[in-house]
Amino acid sequence: MATSHHHDAELHEHEHVHVTHYHRPDEDVTHLMATHAHEHNHPALSHTHEPHQNPDKEHPREAHIHDHTSPAKSPG
């Protein structure tokens, strides 16, 4: 059952994966993958979702947006 809950702001580091579609005329599209790790933040958040069974394992797999110019600073 989905529950509403709050996450405090958090600053942490984990690996990020980026995929770029690379295309040259008359060639197939190639997927170029790059990984990097850097410190970034998650601002405080209240939301509702199904409970995680293993938050430490599941969180890094969730897609989220961060600012590469200032990854450890929340906008605003």
Q: Using CA atoms, how far apart are residues 21 and 30, in angstroms rounded to an integer?
A: 6
| pLDDT tens, position by position, 8-55 | 888 888 788 888 888 888 888 898 899 988 888 878 888 887 777 887
Domain membership of residue 52 (yes or no) is yes
Tell me, what's the pLDDT at 22?
85
Domain membership of residue 74 (yes or no) is no
Residue 10 vs residue 58, higher pLDDT? 10
Query: Which residue's entry shows tokens 């969180």?
Result: 59
- Full domain range(s) for residue 26: 3-61
Nearest to 38 by CA among 12, 59, 58, 20: 12
Residues 51/5, Cβ–Cβ less than 8 Å = no
Domain membership of residue 67 (yes or no) is no
How far does Cα 62 stand from its chain's mean position?
A: 6
Domain membership of residue 50 (yes or no) is yes
**In total, how many domains does the chain have?**
1
Domain membership of residue 70 (yes or no) is no
Domain membership of residue 46 (yes or no) is yes
